Amino acid sequence: MIFVWLVIGIITIAAIVGIIAVIADLGKISNHKPFGPYERFVKRGLDAFLATGALIVFSPILLITAFLVRVKLGTPVLFVQERPGRDEKVFKLYKFRSMTDQKDENGKLLPDSIRLTSFGKILRASSLDELPELINIIKGDMAVVGPRPLRVHYLPWYSEEQAQRHVVRPGLTGYAQAHGRNTVDWDDKFNMDVEYTKHITLIGDLKIILDTVKAVVKHEGISSSTSVTVENFVDYCKSKGRNPRII
């Protein structure tokens, strides 16, 4: 009986947060035209509902992970970095840190391959480092599904077409994330992102979530062929002879 009331309580809290999120989103103006009723009326509220429920249910895992990060990697426990969101509006993204702050004799951070510990690899492989992004979803910075939020300094290097990935909220996971993750070529990844923004549906989002779970369970696409994480997009553009656009 206690379990039933606990479930009802979580659903109620999540539903209230979802309703508030929808109301708060009504006055926001965007140049993007929603694909259909799901994207226009349901997606934001459902995202906030799911993120709130997940944050409550997974709170023990969050606390345990935070404790382990503190013990194994030190402070700060959270990795906070500015990322561009919808309409390229910058927000602060939260993740569990998975690397040390080791520096060379000149005070410059060592390569990712050295700073990424075995514990950090486990965090990334299991995607536990992404859990704090549930807070970003509740705040309205992100969605459950959408193009992944990347570095701010990448913005000038997108083509006009690639920049369309920012017409919607970035996601905890996305089509490219579920289909190759960090092993996908940047151009192919952005093609997937832009295509997603044009056809956002409930069935499509559910399929991406399921495919993401499969990819995480199989530990697929964690590293690129050139890096322990993902190849730098600016370096990729330079290797292709591309120049930044004026924004």
Strand 143-145 to strand 171-173: parallel, antiparallel, or no bridges (unpaired)? parallel
Closest CA to 216 of 171, 191, 182: 182
Residue 101's pLDDT is 83
Write down the pTM of the prediction: 0.89
Residue 185's pLDDT is 85
Give the mean model confidence (pLDDT) for residues 22-50. 90
Least trusted range by pLDDT, from 121-135, 156-170, 186-200, 225-239: 225-239
- Residue keyed to tokens 């369970």: 217
Q: What percent of the chain has pLDDT over 70?
A: 95
More confident residue, 209 or 220: 209
Is 211's pLDDT higher than 70? Answer: yes
Residue 129 pLDDT class (50, 70, 90 cuts) = very high
User: What is the average pLDDT score of the chain?
Assistant: 89
Query: DSSP code of 109?
Result: B
Residue 104's pLDDT is 77
Q: How far is CA 25 from CA 32, 41, 48, 183, 201, in A?
A: 14, 10, 11, 35, 19
pLDDT digits (tens, 9 = 90+) for 146-172: 999 999 999 999 999 999 999 999 999
Please report which residue ranges of the chain form alpha helices under DSSP H: 2-25, 37, 43-57, 59-73, 112-115, 118-126, 133-139, 175-178, 186-198, 202-217, 233-239
Taking the C-alpha atoms of residue 247 and residue 235, their distance in angstroms, rounded to an integer, is 19
